[in-house]
């Protein structure tokens, strides 16, 4: 974290140059990633992953099924369901009435992409995004499904995708961590989101995501006691460093030098993070673009602005989690709320990155952990229905660095129940994200318990059709 | 790297370019292998998983991958390693091949690496991996300086240093040594008084006396127990989505206690795997099985409980693999193990040993509570003996009563209704063999379950609802609340003729009876539902009064509440339908709290419905167990059974009213106790199947319990149960068990294990740095009765351990990770100890051992959405409990305690036997600004001003000694004095606010020591904050 030059300048120590060089080499590795990466020229330098937590309904947003309208209320044919596993919430439901979407779809952009009326802003970016309609996952309950998306495995314990990427590629800037996470709460009900979802698993803990939040302390314990800032803080840290340097001279343990440098980094974060989180200098036009919510600290819209600011400041992997998509009941009402919160800011982020010339080297991903059922959970009425978890097919979109815009990839059957063309597994998505970053997913490995682990385990193939 | 390599490679070629045109494997290459490689990569050993005497094995490669790339020596690891290219150790170890030999190998590879099939050893079985052969005690080698050697550890270490041309470092100074051994053995720095006493003690065994003192300290168990708790994935919540609180601290305390009494490790493992199967298990031995139960539990609304029982099973096997066996086995969950010889079938054979248990939850009592209980029971027995003494004819009278109550019980027909799963609120009602339903999975706080059954019985007069115990319910049930209780808001029945099921009529009840009718009681606050209704429980009438606020309650108080209960509902007129009747039962359970994601349910746990045609049927007042004893002829009953019957009968005898009231009063004093998750064997065993790809929905071939064939065999005649499995794990012939434990112990002392991959000693593990030390310690460990304290004593009294940890640039370059041990260990302590040091240095530490987990200050937002799933309880501890050692901090799996998380403490999702040790800016921010660290800095400042001495120099020395144990050097004193002066001056300025730094709440400043100013205290707080943030303070040196 500490650069070689500042270290030499700030210390007048008698430490042997070999030890120091090795210390700095080791340290450099923490911020610049593995020397063997990237494997090939990267299209994207960074990723902004907009995780829609709780699982948005593909049927009401992306996967246009006009023919379903005629089948409203009809029993889902067994030939479609084929006895597949249902969750415990509807497994014993006596009826599976088909619930077509209440929302209108229309074609957008030059590409004529079909999108729901719930996404008017995203629709304006249709020619920049690639919708994948043929996602598929193995997990059917939230926690294991998010764990699968985040780590490539349903059971907790493996590194998250952001940790893999910060391990492999390090950070771009000097003053912020490589992997930053922000969580916002939607109007819908919440599902759990454990800290381990951005954990480092068996990778060293320094690669875990750092959670930023809104408010005075975007990073925990960032603020000094009141009235003890500025010069007082500097004076204090200088004295602390001098004391540590005395020890370093005596013991020559490079860990002491690392500790000194980490206090320096903490000091830098004490200014860089509040500066980052302070949106007061953003022009009016920013807030206009991201929508009215963007003035509310902690909202998804505000986090989208922060995501752009983090991207500008060299953070490698930025992940937003927006919660509240788990619409088992009252889907029409709740999905309207969730879309109001996310549609405009997500589109604005794309627009904003594009204006700044950053969309070309920023990969943006938008999606949840699985899809939702075509049949109604609970009673289907003229203006209401619910949808249960559905892992067999769902939609998400990608845009920017390395991805072809205006593309709709993959296809599901008439009931949006099974994938019929170009199935994309979670591993394929992972492989593709890594590919955009210039990383061959089979080469990003870490040896643990006698085995070379990788994010994509023994699976994954890059979705070539959607690449630029 | 490649660039350098090509350069070197070109040079090599230039130098040795004049070699025979065609290299012949048998003539040129194999002799080199035989002479220089087979020793480690041949029939005796397969270091790094590689052997070079078998063609197939050599080409397949070892740990580092395929060593030979035909026609491309440059890319071949074999060539790189013998040529000394790259950053890996040069081969052969401890020597070099001649340049000609290296060139021969290079040419052979470049020419295509032709290896005639005839030129290979045929092996029927590849040699066993070193770790799978039981350890033998190696003989200590001769060394350069035998005076340095305290015990054989030192001889092995020194022999290696001799070989490397290194010398051990001098012994660390006494203060450093005492601080090191204190941090290592009890996780706390020595006090100033302890340091002084040690410095004064001039006896030859002064150090050994300190080691004894520390090993006897109750904090020893906290320090070393914590390592085991990592492996046991201990946490205070369920994990996954809801991450509800669970009570398992009794297990944590058992671990601490077991370390403190140096329970032999073999016994320690046996009790954790199968304590419940030991003869007459003690409470401790039951609690020990909590080890297996530390798995996460998912109670999301949609889960299939069986899926997560299976995942818990996988987790248990993983935990046993890492913590006890030291072998990775979970890969074989889905497929045969790729590297170690474990087959998928063998994995499920282990699984079968563990698959036959209830997920039980039992009440447990602290030692004090246990004493209270035995005292109460003694007094109750005395009371009953007294009654019997005063009424010598009691036996005759009881027999007469028995005759009277034996008859006249109505015949009941159990009905097995279907549960309507829309009505279950997400709770699973699992049908049991006896016709009852067991509630599992998600627990809604309010629901009205509908159950339907068709019966041909005519003239139905009454319905019986039995509430039954089950090991899988909290405290055995019969309810699902944390106390194992439940409440029935309303019981309703509808009936319809089977041939006209739409003609439903509601059954009117003429009365209801129950074997327990408690007085009207307002609901416990844990069931608060955010309404202002007065919600109550009481007698059975409350279940048929049509009111939502009232319910039949069964909580008879501590010690009495977890018993089966029954209620009978009499129909106003009998029900008959010639073609049979459809009965629809509704069990309304609305007396839970507002949050179904917390432990607020008040549901029934296991229930059974019956019908009768008898007239005047009512609930049998006799408890189930008494009724069962009455079926045994009096002369065949055991005295305890007779006493049980008496215990009920006496309550029906009016003349003993006073004595009965006294005994009932004693029950009221019964302690509440707490709960613990344990293993309990099922009566009807489960079948175990291989699961295809580990999927619980794809069972394949059935398997029986067994162990992997590459490890020690099971005893021939042992029963196939968990106890046998547990004993097998700690058999003297178990090759990895002792090694795994001593290796981890070593890791905790020296920062890195003798085998660095301490979770896996299998074929893919890194080769041990000192195989002889590993084996010698493993054998000593077992032969000294699996005593962990004996291993600690051997290590901490060795000369190796006592070396100074100062490093020179040369030594650092040669051995950056200190694998050779030419110096003592020096690294940052674990997260818990980082906090404990701050608390101890400031004098705030509360040294209390054990008890429920505590809630020190934590950022409030963590426990509210969106940070957590639902609002979580975190009532900040007041007073002393704030300052408990960090291992007692409550551990929510989904919201790790920030200070511990940032210092690499695992969160208990899975077994962890090797923590990372990071050094990050977030750690700096934590020790600078986390409230407890600031509180510690303030307390240290205040204490220093109060007790630190007469002048600043003395005070500085005092504060430094509290943090570092040693005295400051002159330059440190100068630096700190300078800091103190500057800071005090800063706070003396008119606009400074000293209390902002010196007090947690500037409006409530602490009392100042006489003659001191707020600015001075603030200055000292700044100095204390520096001291608590020093690298050395949180480092074991």
The string of pLDDT tens digits covering residues A85-129 is 666 666 656 678 999 999 999 999 999 999 999 999 999 999 999
Which member of A15, A190, A328 has the closest CB to residue B865? A190
Alpha-carbon distance of A459 to A454, in angstroms, equals 10
Nearest Cα neighbor of B175 from B153, B192, B152, B155 is: B192
Q: Are B917 and B1005 a contacting pair, CB within 8 Å?
A: no
The Cβ of residue A451 has, within 10 Å, a number of other Cβ atoms equal to 16
Placement of tokens 């079909």 in the chain: A114
The residue among A15, A82, A195, A338 with the most chain B CBs within 10 A of its CB, best to mutate, is A195
Q: Which B residues in the span 873-902 are in contact with A, Cβ-Cβ below 8 Å? A: 893-896, 898, 901-902
How far is it, in rounded angstroms, from Cα B978 to Cα B867?
43
Q: What are B127's two structure tokens? A: 């040699």
Is the Cβ of B855 closer than 8 Å to some Cβ of chain A?
no
Assign A215 a pLDDT band (cuts: 50, 70, 90): low
pLDDT at residue B267 above 50? yes
Answer whether A220 sits within 8 Å of B859, measured CB to CB: yes
pLDDT band per the 50, 70, 90 thresholds, residue B304: confident
Q: How far is CA B235 from CA A432, B241, B354, B847, B887, in A?
A: 36, 15, 21, 21, 11
Q: Is A93 on the interface with B (CB under 8 A)?
A: yes
Length of chain B: 1037
Q: Is A234 on the interface with B (CB under 8 A)?
A: no
Burial of B534 (0-12, 13-18, 19+ CB in 10 A): exposed
- Classify A49 as helix, strand or coil: strand
Q: What percent of chain B has pLDDT over 70?
A: 95
**Which tokens in the block code for residue A429?**
């998505």
* DSSP H or E stretch at residue A181: strand A179-185
Instruction: Dump strand ranges (E) for B165-221.
Output: none
Task: Please give the structure tokens belonging to residue B215.
Answer: 């090993």
SS3 call for B514: strand
Taking a C-beta distance cutoff of 8 angstroms, is the pair A463, A62 a contact?
no
Locate all alpha helices (DSSP H) within B848-969, ordered by sequence.
898-902, 921-929, 931-947, 952-964
CA dihedral B37, B42, B46, B48 (to 10 degrees): 30
| Band of pLDDT at residue B694, cut at 50, 70 and 90 | confident
Please tell me which residue of chain A has the smallest CA distance to B933: A221
Are the beta carbons of B1 and A35 separated by less than 8 Å? yes
User: What is the pLDDT at residue B16?
Assistant: 40
The verdict on B867 touching A (C-beta cutoff 8 Å) is: yes
Cβ pair B928:A19 closer than 8 A: no
3-state secondary structure labels for all residues of B702-720: EECCCCCCCCCCCCCCCCC
Identify the CA nearest to B450 among candidates B605, B547, B608, B588: B588
Dihedral pair phi/psi, residue B675, rounded to 5°: -110, 160
> Which of A192, A223, A255 has the CB atom closest to B919's CB atom?
A255
Q: Which of the residues B5, B302, B313 would you substitute to probe the A interface, choosing the one with the greatest number of A C-beta atoms within 10 Å?
A: B302
Yes or no, beta carbons of A93 and B421 under 8 Å apart: yes
Estimate the crossing angle of helix B367-390 against helix B657-668, to 10 degrees.
180
CA distance A217 to A278: 11
Region of poorest pLDDT, from A348-357, B91-100, B200-209, B281-290: B91-100
Which SS3 state, helix, strand or coil, does residue B1012 take?
Answer: coil
More confident residue, B68 or A134: A134
pLDDT for residue A31: 56
How large is the greatest C-alpha to C-alpha distance in chain A, in angstroms?
82
CB of B941 closer than 8 Å to CB of B1024: yes
- CA B698 to mean position of chain CA atoms: 29
Question: Are B421 and B389 within 8 A, CB to CB?
Answer: no
- Least Cα distance to A327 among A114, A155, A89 occurs for A89
Quick one: what percent of chain B has pLDDT higher than 90?
73
**Residue A193 touches chain B, beta carbons under 8 Å:** yes
pLDDT of residue A14: 36
Gap between the Cα atoms of B913 and B247, Å rounded: 23
List B452's β-bridge partners, or say none: B418, B584
- Considering only the beta carbons, identify the residue of B298, B969, B1031 that sits closest to A256: B1031
Q: How many CB atoms lie within 10 A of CB B598?
A: 21
Does A450 sit within 8 Å of B339, measured CB to CB? yes
Contact B869/A247, CB-based, under 8 Å?
no
Can you give the pLDDT at residue A112?
96
φ, ψ dihedrals at A399, nearest 5°: -155, 160
pLDDT of the residue at B830: 97
Spacing of C-alpha B163 from chain mean position = 42
Write out residues 968-987 of B within 8 Å (CB-CB) of A.
969, 971-972, 975-976, 978-979, 982-983, 986
Q: In B, residues 898-957, which contact A (CB 8 Å cutoff)? A: 898, 901-902, 904, 907, 909-910, 916, 918-926, 928-930, 934
First to last CA, chain A: 34
In the stretch 595-614 of chain B, residues with CB closer than 8 A to chain A read none
Which DSSP category does B322 fall into?
I
Do residues A329 and A377 touch, judged by C-beta distance below 8 A? yes
Q: Which residues contact B398 (CB under 8 A, 6 or more apart)?
A: B645, B646, B649
A131 pairs with which residues across the strands? A397, A408
Q: Do B304 and A19 touch (CB under 8 A)?
A: no
Residue at token pair 């937002």? B861
- B809 touches A: beta carbon within 8 Å: yes
A11, pLDDT greater than 50: no
**Among the ranges given (A228-232, B7-11, B417-421), the one the predictor scored with the smallest mean pLDDT:** B7-11
d(CA B354, CA B820) in angstroms, rounded, equals 41
Supply φ then ψ for residue B851, to 5 degrees. 105, 180
Nearest-by-Cβ selection for B919 from A258, A378, A451? A258
| Separation between Cα atoms, residue A393 and residue A378, nearest integer Å | 21
Give the max Cα distance, chain B.
116
For B920, the closest of A156, A206, A247 (CB atoms) is A206
Strand-strand pairing, B490-497 and B536-538:
unpaired
B807·A253 Cβ contact <8 A: yes
Could you give the ipTM of this predicted complex? 0.81
**Residue pairs between chains A and B whose CB atoms are closer than 8 Å:** 253
> How many CB atoms within 10 Å of residue B7?
11
Place of tokens 């030499």: A8
What pTM does this model have?
A: 0.82
CA dihedral B357, B361, B366, B371 (to 10 degrees): -90
- Are B894 and A192 in contact (CB < 8 Å)? yes
- Other beta carbons within 10 Å of B701: 11
CA B1009/CA B945 separation, integer angstroms? 7
Cis preceding linkage at B866, omega within 30: yes
- DSSP secondary structure string, B523-589? PPGGG--SS----EEESGGGGSS--SSEEEE----TTTSSS-EEEEEEEEEEE--TT-EEEEEEEEE
Instruction: Tell me the pLDDT tens digit for each residue of A359-414.
Output: 999 999 999 999 999 999 888 999 999 999 999 999 999 999 999 999 999 999 99
CA–CA distance, B377 with A164 (Å, rounded to integer): 60
pLDDT class of B117 with cuts at 50, 70, 90: confident
CA separation for the pair B671, B431 (Å, rounded): 34
A395 vs A378: CA distance, rounded Å: 23
Q: Is A224 on the interface with B (CB under 8 A)?
A: yes
Q: What's the rounded mean pLDDT across residues B670-699?
A: 90
Q: What is the mean pLDDT of residues B665-679?
A: 95
| Joined tokens for residue B987 | 């706070």
Torsion on CA atoms A15, A16, A22, A27, rounded to nearest 10: 10
Residue B384 in 3-state DSSP? helix
- B488 vs B538: CA distance, rounded Å: 10
Report how far residue A241's alpha carbon sits from residue A249's, in angstroms, rounded to the nearest whole number. 12
Render pLDDT for A155-167 as a digit per residue (tens, 0 to 9). Answer: 778 999 999 999 9
B1022 with A219: Cβ contact below 8 A: no
State how far the Cα of B836 lies from the Cα of B1005, in Å rounded to an integer: 25
CA B527 to chain centre: 29
- CB contact (8 A) between residue B807 and residue A19: yes
Interchain pair B924, A263: CB under 8 A: yes
Radius of gyration, alpha carbons of chain A: 24
In chain A, residues with a C-beta closer than 8 Å to the C-beta of B296 are 156
Mean pLDDT over all residues of chain A? 87
CB A145, CB A391: distance < 8 Å: yes
Cβ distance of A155 and B869 shorter than 8 Å: no
Distance from C-alpha of B93 to C-alpha of B108, rounded to nearest angstrom: 22
- Give the pLDDT of residue A85: 67
Give dist(CA B983, CA B1013) in Å, integer: 13
> B300 and chain A: CB distance < 8 Å anywhere?
yes
Residues of chain A found within 8 Å of residue B828, distances taken between Cβ atoms:
255
Q: Which residue of chain B is at minimal alpha-carbon distance from A389?
A: B302
Q: What pLDDT shows up at residue B397?
A: 96
Chain B neighbors of A204, CB-CB under 8 A: 916, 918
């Amino acid at each position: 974290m500490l650069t070689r030059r500042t270290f030499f300048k700030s210390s007048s120590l008698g430490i042997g140059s070999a030890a120091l060089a090795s210390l700095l080499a080791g340290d450099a590795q923490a911020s610049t990633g593995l020397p063997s990466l990237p494997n090939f020229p990267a299209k994207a330098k960074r990723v902004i992953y907009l995780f829609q937590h709780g699982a948005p309904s593909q049927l009401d947003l992306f996967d246009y099924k006009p023919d379903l309208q005629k089948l409203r209320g009809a029993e889902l044919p067994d030939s479609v369901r084929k006895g597949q596993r249902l969750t415990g919430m509807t497994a014993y439901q006596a009826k599976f009435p088909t619930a077509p979407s209440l929302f209108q779809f229309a074609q957008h952009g030059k590409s004529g992409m079909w999108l729901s009326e719930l996404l008017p802003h995203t629709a304006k970016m249709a020619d920049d995004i690639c919708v994948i309609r043929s996602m598929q996952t193995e997990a059917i309950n939230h926690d294991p499904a998010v764990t699968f998306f985040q780590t490539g495995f349903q059971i907790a314990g493996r590194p998250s995708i952001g940790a893999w990427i910060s391990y492999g590629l390090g950070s771009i800037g000097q003053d912020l961590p490589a992997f930053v996470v922000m969580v916002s709460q939607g109007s819908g009900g919440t599902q759990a989101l454990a800290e381990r979802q951005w954990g480092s698993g068996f990778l060293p803990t320094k690669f875990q995501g750092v959670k930023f939040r809104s408010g005075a302390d975007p990073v925990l314990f960032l603020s000094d006691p009141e009235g003890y800032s500025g010069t007082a803080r500097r004076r204090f840290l200088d004295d602390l460093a001098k004391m540590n340097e005395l020890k370093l001279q005596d013991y020559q343990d490079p860990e002491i030098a690392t500790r000194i440098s980490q206090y320096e980094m903490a000091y830098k974060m004490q200014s860089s993070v509040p500066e980052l989180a302070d949106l007061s200098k953003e022009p009016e036009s920013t807030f206009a673009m991201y929508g009215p919510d963007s003035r509310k600290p902690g909202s998804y819209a505000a986090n989208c602005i922060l995501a752009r600011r983090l991207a500008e400041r060299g953070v490698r992997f930025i992940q937003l989690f927006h919660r509240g998509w788990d619409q088992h009941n009252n889907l029409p009402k709740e999905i309207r709320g969730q879309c109001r919160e996310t549609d405009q800011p997500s589109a604005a982020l794309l627009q904003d990155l594009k204006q700044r010339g950053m969309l070309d080297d920023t990969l943006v991903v938008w999606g949840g952990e699985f899809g939702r059922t075509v049949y109604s959970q609970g009673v289907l009425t003229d203006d209401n229905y619910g949808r249960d978890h559905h892992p067999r097919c769902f939609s998400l979109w990608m845009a920017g660095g390395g991805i072809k815009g205006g593309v709709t990839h993959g296809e599901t059957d008439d009931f949006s129940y099974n994938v019929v063309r170009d199935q994309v597994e979670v591993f394929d998505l992972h492989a593709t994200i890594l590919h955009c970053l210039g990383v061959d997913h089979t080469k990003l490995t870490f040896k643990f318990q006698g085995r070379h682990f990788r994010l994509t385990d023994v699976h994954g193939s890059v979705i070539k059709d959607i690449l630029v | 790297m490649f660039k350098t390599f090509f350069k070197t490679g070109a040079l090599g070629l230039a130098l040795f370019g004049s070699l025979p045109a065609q290299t012949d494997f048998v003539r040129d290459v194999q002799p080199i292998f035989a002479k220089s490689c087979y020793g480690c990569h041949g029939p005796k050993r397969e270091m790094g998983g590689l052997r070079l005497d078998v063609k197939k094995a050599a080409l397949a490669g070892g740990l580092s991958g395929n060593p030979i790339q035909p026609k491309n020596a440059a890319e071949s690891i074999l060539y790189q390693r013998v040529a000394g290219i790259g950053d890996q150790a040069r081969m052969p170890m401890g020597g070099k091949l001649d340049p000609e030999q290296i060139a021969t190998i290079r040419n052979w590879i470049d020419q295509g690496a032709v290896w005639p099939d005839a030129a290979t050893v045929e092996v029927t079985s590849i040699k066993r991996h070193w770790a799978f052969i039981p350890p033998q005690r190696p003989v200590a080698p001769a060394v350069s300086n035998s005076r340095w050697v305290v015990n054989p550890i030192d001889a092995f270490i020194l022999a290696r240093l001799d070989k490397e041309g290194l010398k051990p470092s001098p012994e660390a100074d006494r203060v450093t040594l005492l601080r090191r051994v204190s941090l290592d053995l009890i996780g706390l720095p020595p006090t100033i008084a302890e340091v002084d006493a040690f410095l004064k003690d001039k006896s030859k065994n002064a150090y050994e006396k300190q080691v004894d003192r520390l090993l006897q300290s109750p904090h020893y168990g906290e320090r070393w127990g914590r390592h085991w708790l990592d492996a046991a994935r201990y946490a205070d919540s369920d994990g996954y989505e809801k991450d509800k609180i669970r009570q398992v601290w009794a297990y944590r305390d058992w671990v601490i206690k077991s370390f403190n009494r140096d329970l032999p490790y073999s016994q320690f493992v046996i009790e954790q795997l199968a304590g419940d199967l030991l003869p007459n298990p003690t409470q401790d031995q039951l609690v020990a099985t909590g080890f297996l139960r530390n798995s996460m539990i998912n109670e999301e609304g949609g889960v299939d409980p069986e899926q997560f029982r299976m995942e818990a099973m996988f987790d248990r096997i993983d935990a046993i693999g890492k913590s006890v066996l030291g072998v990775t086995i979970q890969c074989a969950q889905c497929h045969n193990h790729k590297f170690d010889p474990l087959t998928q079938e063998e994995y499920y054979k282990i699984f079968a040993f563990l698959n036959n248990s209830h997920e039980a939850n039992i009440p447990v009592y602290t030692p004090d509570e246990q004493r209270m209980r035995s005292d109460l029971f003694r007094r109750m027995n005395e009371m009953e003996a007294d009654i019997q003494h005063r009424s010598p004819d009691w036996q005759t009278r009881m027999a007469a009563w028995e005759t009277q109550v034996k008859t006249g019980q109505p015949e009941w027909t159990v009905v097995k209704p279907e549960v309507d799963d829309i009505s279950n609120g997400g709770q699973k009602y699992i049908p049991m063999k006896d016709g009852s339903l067991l509630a599992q999975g998600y627990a809604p706080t309010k629901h009205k379950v509908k159950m339907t059954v068709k019966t041909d019985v005519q003239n139905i007069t009454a319905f019986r609802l039995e509430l039954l115990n089950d090991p899988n319910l909290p405290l055995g049930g019969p309810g699902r609340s944390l106390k194992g209780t439940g409440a029935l808001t309303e019981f309703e029945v509808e009936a319809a003729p089977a041939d006209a099921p739409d003609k439903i009529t509601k059954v009117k009840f003429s009365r209801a009876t129950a074997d327990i009718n408690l007085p009207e009681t307002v609901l416990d606050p844990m069931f608060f539902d955010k309404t202002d209704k007065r919600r109550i429980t009481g007698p059975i009438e409350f279940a048929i009064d049509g009111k939502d606020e009232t319910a039949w309650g069964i909580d008879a108080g501590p010690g009495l509440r977890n018993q089966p209960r029954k209620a009978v509902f009499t129909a106003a007129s009998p029900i008959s339908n010639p073609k049979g009747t459809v009965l629809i039962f509704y069990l309304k359970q609305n007396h839970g709290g507002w949050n179904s994601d917390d432990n607020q349910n008040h549901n029934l746990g296991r229930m059974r419905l019956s019908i009768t045609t008898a007239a005047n049927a009512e609930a049998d007042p006799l408890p189930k167990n008494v009724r069962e004893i009455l079926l045994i002829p009096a002369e065949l009953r055991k005295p305890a059974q007779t006493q049980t019957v008496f215990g009920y009968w006496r309550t029906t005898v009016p003349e003993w009213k006073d004595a009965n009231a006294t005994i009932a009063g004693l029950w009221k004093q019964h302690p509440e106790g707490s709960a613990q998750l344990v293993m309990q064997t099922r009566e009807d065993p489960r079948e175990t199947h291989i699961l295809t790809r580990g999927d619980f929905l794809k069972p394949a071939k059935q398997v029986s319990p067994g162990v992997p064939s590459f490890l020690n065999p099971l005893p021939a005649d042992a029963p196939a149960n968990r106890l046998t499995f547990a004993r097998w794990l700690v058999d003297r012939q178990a090759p990895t068990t002792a090694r795994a434990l001593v290796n981890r112990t070593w890791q905790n002392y020296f920062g890195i294990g003798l085998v660095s991959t301490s979770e896996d000693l299998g074929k893919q593990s890194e080769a041990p740095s000192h195989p002889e030390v590993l084996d010698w310690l493993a054998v000593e460990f077992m032969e000294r009765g699996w005593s962990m304290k004996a291993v600690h004593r051997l290590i901490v009294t060795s000369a190796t351990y006592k070396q100074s940890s100062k490093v020179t640039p040369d030594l650092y370059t040669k051995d950056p990770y200190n694998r050779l041990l030419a110096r003592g260990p020096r690294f940052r302590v674990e997260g818990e100890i980082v906090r404990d040091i701050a608390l101890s240095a400031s004098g705030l530490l509360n040294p209390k051992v054990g008890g429920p987990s505590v809630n020190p200050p934590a950022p409030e937002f963590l426990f509210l959405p969106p940070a957590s799933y639902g609002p979580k309880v975190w009532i900040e501890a007041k007073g002393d409990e704030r300052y408990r050692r960090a291992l007692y901090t409550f551990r929510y799996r989904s919201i790790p305690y920030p200070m511990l998380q940032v210092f690499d403490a695992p969160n208990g999702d899975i077994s962890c036997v090797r923590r990372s040790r990071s050094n990050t800016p977030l750690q700096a921010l934590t020790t600078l600004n986390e409230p407890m660290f600031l509180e510690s800095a303030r307390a240290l400042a205040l204490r220093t001003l109060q007790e630190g001495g007469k002048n600043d120099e003395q005070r500085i020395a005092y504060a430094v000694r509290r943090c570092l144990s040693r005295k400051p050097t002159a330059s440190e004193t100068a630096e700190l004095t300078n800091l103190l002066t500057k800071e005090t001056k800063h706070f003396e300025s008119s606009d400074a606010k000293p209390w902002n730094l010196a007090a947690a709440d500037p409006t409530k400043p602490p009392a100042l020591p006489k003659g001191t100013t707020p600015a001075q205290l603030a200055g000292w707080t700044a100095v204390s904050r520096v001291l608590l943030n020093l690298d050395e303070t949180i480092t074991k040196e």
